[in-house]
């Protein structure tokens, strides 16, 4: 598309005021990362890697204005229709986009068709002049129930990389981050990152954006606690009953976990760094 910028804007740290908008689904909404001062989810709001990235940015920029439009369960066409126009109106300096995962894991979905929508989104977002960062899909080899999806995810990843090259986007290659092949990175639902998984992903995003941070996203995990096959089997059965079966039921009935959920930060609001940086 002519007139679309092909290079990333300059150093984010050089700005006096930085605006950042995050788009996507549950991955970007922050499930299941609770805020450290609460055992519950205040007003249904999670923290997540995007909030953490905004906080890291606030360590280096005098004023960071941050919006997060992501809503759990959203399909890529919904993100295009509901979130992209609002992001374009805001004209931010930085936009992060993770979309298509909920489509790709559905039976019968076609990565070629999904990426057509993805490219239309990126074209509109880059036309604003914003720096745009995208994410590849996770490698599901560690998850026996979803291992069969690796081929579709890999195909979609290659398509997204081609789009990123065409429009000059930054890429966080989540597929290659082997730390996400460990149970420590995941909430017990095995569908969403743990708080530590979100923290490490935020460190990696900052590395790609050249934002100095303390901590190593690739630090080795502690060794797993020993458990016998009976305990592992019980955990698998509990997971299937509590998470896999309800997920399948929602797919069959056309419902979504995001029905009735609203964006947690629908407008650009000031984001301040936390008083003390937590490490867990």
Please give the pLDDT value at position 169. Answer: 98
Which pLDDT score is estimated for 42? Answer: 47
Helix 195-208 / helix 48-58 crossing angle, nearest 10 deg? 50
Is the N-terminal amide bond of 10 cis, ω within 30° of 0? no
pTM of the model: 0.87
Residue 41: what pLDDT?
Answer: 47
* Mean pLDDT for back-to-back runs of 10 residues, the chain (280 residues): 51 93 96 71 74 96 97 95 98 98 91 98 98 96 84 97 98 97 86 93 97 95 77 70 70 61 93 66
Note the CATH number of domain 12-220+261-271. 3.40.50.1110
pLDDT at 10: 64
Q: Where are the domains of the chain?
A: 12-220+261-271
Instruction: Render pLDDT for 60-82 as a digit per residue (tens, 0 to 9).
Output: 999 999 999 999 999 999 999 99
């Amino acid at each position: 598309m002519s007139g679309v910028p092909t290079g990333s804007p300059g150093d984010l740290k050089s700005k006096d005021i930085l605006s950042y908008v995050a788009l996507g689904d549950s991955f970007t909404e922050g499930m299941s990362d609770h805020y450290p001062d609460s055992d519950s989810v205040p007003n249904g709001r999670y923290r997540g890697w995007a909030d953490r990235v905004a906080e890291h940015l606030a360590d280096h920029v005098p004023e960071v204005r941050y919006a997060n439009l992501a809503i759990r369960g959203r399909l890529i066409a919904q993100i295009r229709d509901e979130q992209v126009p609002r992001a374009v109106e805001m004209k931010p300096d930085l936009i992060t986009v993770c979309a298509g995962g909920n489509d790709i894991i559905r039976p019968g979905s076609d990565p070629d068709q999904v990426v057509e929508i993805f490219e239309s989104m990126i074209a509109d977002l880059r036309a604003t002049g914003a720096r745009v960062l995208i994410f590849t899909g996770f490698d599901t080899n560690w998850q026996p129930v979803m291992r069969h999806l690796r081929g579709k995810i890999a195909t979609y990843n290659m398509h997204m990389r081609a789009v990123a090259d065409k429009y000059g986007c930054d890429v966080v290659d989540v597929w290659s981050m082997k730390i996400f092949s460990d149970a420590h990175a995941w909430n017990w639902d095995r569908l969403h990152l743990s708080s530590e998984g979100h923290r490490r992903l935020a460190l990696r995003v900052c590395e790609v954006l050249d934002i100095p941070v303390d901590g190593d996203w690739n630090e080795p995990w502690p060794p797993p606690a020993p458990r016998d096959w009976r305990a592992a089997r019980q955990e698998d059965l509990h997971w299937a009953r509590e998470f896999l079966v309800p997920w399948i039921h929602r797919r069959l009935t056309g419902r979504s976990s995001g029905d009735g959920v609203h964006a947690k930060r629908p407008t650009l609001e000031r984001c301040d760094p936390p008083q003390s940086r937590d490490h867990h």
